[in-house]
Amino acid sequence: MASPPARRQPADVGDDASPRIDRRRLRLARESRGESQTGLATKAGVSAAAISQFEKGTARPSSQTVTRIAGALDFPPTFFERARGPSVGEELDGFFRSLRSTSATDRRRARSRAQLLCYFTRVLEGHVQLPILDLPRHPIGSDAIDDDVEKIAAQVRSEWKVPSGPIDDMVRLLERHGIVAARFSVDSEQVDAFSVPFPDRPIVVLSSDKSDRPRSRFDSAHELGHLVMHGEEDGGSKVVESEAHWFAAAFLMPAEEIRPMLPSLPDWSQLQELKRTWGVSMQALLMRARNLRVMEPHVYVQAMKTMSARGWRRSEPVYLGPPEMPVLLGKAIDAVEKQGVTLDVIAASANLPLDEVYAFIGAGTDARPRVEI
């Protein structure tokens, strides 16, 4: 009896000779570009069903299809191949300030870019030694109170040997202890900062779309609070966000040091001077005064109304300069280049788009030296 005719495969699906792609890398690249499966399929000239099958691992794309997908995402085709460099890391949700106000698409894109950053850091560590990760872990219970968070913040300052008084550079402090920080655009008004607790290198991403230095310093301390106190499964709840917020205030403004300086009534000149000294916003100082019971709640409410009436909730007086910038990855690149390995070579070894690598280290895509006048 004659054998039934072989089922014809779609043109975008390969055979045993096709390259073996890593389905996780395909999804990671797509989400990092903010593309849906349908959107990618349209740009690559393949079916949406095929993209879904490739990401599930139930079908393998042909060589031509891999090339079209890579072109649509502006990734080197080699990035998608299995066994290309270190692992791309775990798919962790991370800590986002508000799950309700941050769309799932924005979260996926931001999380995927952080995962690529973690992967790039692993590649970079094949060329240079980065600071050893020194992240205290103080998991906080569901029955914790504000005093517990205060104690944890004080404990971390002690373990990190942070001198008393204001912290000079919050981002540099994270980097010195092996946490990778980056500042790049996340293309979302709802995302000021977020963190992802990768076990080998936790990532803190600060939005380059926001230019307020005190707010950014608070964001950095807030994300540190998440990494110290919370597990990856805790992200998103109001309680967890409130705890991280309290941690940031306590870490930047230790109670025993700041309490004698805080006004019980809104003395704007005094608040502006404290802002210069501690590198935090007037709003954060007022909140700290209320939470430490230096200022009565009704006085705090009236002070915030005054700030709103003066337009200070959006733009406070006293400019403290541009936001703190991460330097760890940039210095690591400089060290590697002194050994004769260029950034282009490192990006190629990671099989990552050069523009993405430039974004990670806070540089533009124009490699020409800049003339300052």
**Could you read off the pLDDT of 223-240 as tens digits, one per residue?**
999 999 998 767 667 889
60 versus 11: the higher-pLDDT residue is 60
Tokens of 10: 């779609």
Q: Are 200 and 154 in contact (CB under 8 A)?
A: no
What's the pLDDT band for 12 if we cut at 50, 70, 90?
A: low
Per-residue model confidence (pLDDT) at position 13: 60
* Phi-psi category of residue 180: left, alpha or beta, with phi > 0 → left and psi -120 to 50 → alpha: beta
Tokens of 339: 């050994």
Q: Round to whole Å and give the CA distance between 177 and 203.
A: 12
What's the pLDDT band for 365 if we cut at 50, 70, 90?
A: very low
Asked if residue 326 has pLDDT above 60, the reply is yes
Per-residue model confidence (pLDDT) at position 190: 62
**DSSP codes, 297-348:** HHHHHHHHHHHHHTTTTTS-SS---SPP---HHHHHHHHHHHTT--HHHHHH
Per-residue model confidence (pLDDT) at position 184: 81
Asked if residue 92 has pLDDT above 80, the reply is no
What's the pLDDT band for 143 if we cut at 50, 70, 90?
A: confident
Q: Round to whole Å and give the CA distance between 52 and 12.
A: 12
Angle at 46 between CA 359 and CA 86, to 5 degrees: 40
Read off the pLDDT of residues 96-126 as tens digits, 9 standing for 90 and up.
Answer: 765 455 677 778 888 899 999 999 999 999 9
Per-residue model confidence (pLDDT) at position 372: 45
Asked if residue 1 has pLDDT above 60, the reply is no
What's the pLDDT band for 7 if we cut at 50, 70, 90?
A: very low
The neighbour count for residue 34, using CB atoms within 10 Å, is: 16
Give the pairing of strands 203-207 and 180-184.
Answer: parallel
Q: Are 141 and 124 in contact (CB under 8 A)?
A: no
Per-residue model confidence (pLDDT) at position 144: 85
Q: Mean pLDDT in the chain?
A: 87
Q: Round to whole Å and give the CA distance between 176 and 364.
A: 24
Tokens of 373: 């006048």
Tokens of 36: 């849906």
Read off the pLDDT of residues 264-304 as tens digits, 9 standing for 90 and up.
Answer: 999 999 999 999 999 999 999 999 999 999 999 999 999 99
Read off the pLDDT of residues 146-191 as tens digits, 9 standing for 90 and up.
Answer: 999 999 999 999 999 999 999 999 999 999 999 999 988 766 566 6
Burial 92-110 (b: 16+ CB within 10 A, else e): bbbbbbeeeebeeebbbbb
Structural domains of the chain ordered from first start: 23-80 (1.10.260.40), 95-253 (1.10.10.2910)
CB-neighbour burial class of residue 319 (10 A; exposed 0-12, middle 13-18, buried 19+): exposed
What's the pLDDT band for 94 if we cut at 50, 70, 90?
A: confident
**Looking at residues 204-211, what average pLDDT do you find?**
82
Question: Considering the chain, what percentage of its residues have pLDDT values greater than 90?
Answer: 64
Asked if residue 6 has pLDDT above 60, the reply is no
What's the pLDDT band for 351 if we cut at 50, 70, 90?
A: very high
Strand partners, 183: 206
